[in-house]
Amino acid sequence: MAGGGERLPGLDQQASQAVLSPSRLRAVAATGLLDTAPEEAFDRYSRLASTLLGTPLSFVTVVDDTRSFWKSCIGVESDDPADRQNTVQESFCQYVVASGKPLVVDDAATDPRTRDNPSVRSMGVAAWAGWPVWSPDGEVLGTFCVVDTTPRTWTERDEQVLETLSQAVAGEIALRASRDEAYAAAEDLRRANQALSGLARTLQESLLPPRLPDPPGLEVAARYLPGKGGAQVVGDFYDVFPLASGRWGALIGDVCGHGVDAARTTALARHTIRTAALAEPAPSRVLGVLNDALLARDEDDQEFVSAVYAVLTPLPDGGVGVVVSRAGHPSPVVHRAGAQVEAVADGGLLLGVLPDVRLPETTLTLAPRDALVLFTDGLTEQPDPAGRQWGEAALRAVVRRGQPTAGATADAVVDGMLAHAAAEETRDDAAVLVLRVR
């Protein structure tokens, strides 16, 4: 392996130092991805990028000291690792590795950064856009990138798609690293338990947003309670994210299963919905994209997903318009400022079971101080010591009492469930997401 003081022919000093960094090369080798066969875990993200951006080529690359290896390459019909790579000097990945920043090129043949790159002619690269893929310890492993064979102007939405999917790929790599660490520690029970607990924390942190946004005109709060057994990763997830034209997406879901496979499916669900929402305005169509992604997985992946996805649009009078679609998930409830509580959203089937699933939509309006409450069945199915479930009627009764803030509403729901269970922890994981109009 090359040392950090050498210089690669054809690369400037900065690029050579970055590519040949010993710590970066150790991180690349540790992924175990070099010279390996295609895998659906990576191809699903490349395929989604090509579909949404309309590009003939999309790649997940890993760059060592001599070549850019294409772990995933949609548009290149070969499973032979020898056909799935080019030299560092021929790759556009060198520029991303050198800077640690995205590279967006509208016309590769005229852009001074890329016009002398051999791939402009040998691969027909006319436009290129790529984001760095980071290792858990902050090294640039390679890129998530797309290629067009004609010049084009990449849009802000295109860049958001690439950024989101590059994060999903980095999450898949981090998941594998944590899994391998846990397996390696299995020879010693104490070390294994410690590693598995760390795996659980790493996975759960990757499946939930690190912090919720503060949308104009809305209060947002969420609470997540892990189930018994800190080393068992489970599949509840939620997210709130901005869309075009001042709209916001809100998501809650549940993966049927536990452990690493469920965690991988959870990551796929969250990132697929975030990405599809950039192109599809209808919530039912966004959930339909996720259904297609789940059905395209390997046969060994059998986890199903329930979800509620809502699009919220601020209205001129201070209210918020909401369009909701529900797939096999408990119906969210609306708390009106006058203490009325109502269930919303007709539902369709679980996702990942059948193609062409019917997913109806419900449209409603939230007035100031109204709240939309989304939750997972870990809350309502929590038993008391006698085995009686808390139930949706009890949840609605808590919501009906009303609270001054979204956070207070979320706390009241969790406190009501824990009081019913006479316990400080839940049997299964549970989540609640509250969006309240200011």
Domain span holding position 425: 188-437
Q: 350 and 236 in one domain? A: yes
CATH of the domain at 121: 3.30.450.40
Name the token pair of 347: 């539902």
Q: 245 and 276 in one domain? A: yes
Q: 198 and 163 in one domain? A: no
What's the mean pLDDT in 140-153?
Answer: 97
pLDDT for 179 equals 74
What's the mean pLDDT in 245-271?
Answer: 86
Q: 225 and 100 in one domain? A: no
What is the CB-side half-sphere exposure of residue 427 using CA atoms within 13 A?
17
Helical H segments across 365-405, by residue range: 377-380, 392-400
Compute the distance between CA of residue 410 and CA of residue 398 in angstroms, rounded to an integer. Answer: 10
Q: 328 and 204 in one domain? A: yes
Backbone CA torsion sign across 235, 376, 407, 320? positive
Q: 208 and 66 in one domain? A: no
pLDDT for 185 equals 60
pLDDT for 267 equals 85
Backbone CA torsion sign across 203, 204, 208, 211? negative
Q: 29 and 137 in one domain? A: yes
Confidence of residue 209 (pLDDT cuts 50, 70, 90): confident
pLDDT for 230 equals 47
Q: 126 and 210 in one domain? A: no
With vertex at residue 369, the alpha carbon angle to CA 414 and CA 207, rounded to the nearest 5 degrees, is 45
Q: 385 and 270 in one domain? A: yes
Q: 203 and 77 in one domain? A: no
In a domain, 8, yes or no: no
Domain boundary among 116, 146, 175: 175
In a domain, 1, yes or no: no
Rounded to two decimals, the pTM is: 0.73
In a domain, 388, yes or no: yes
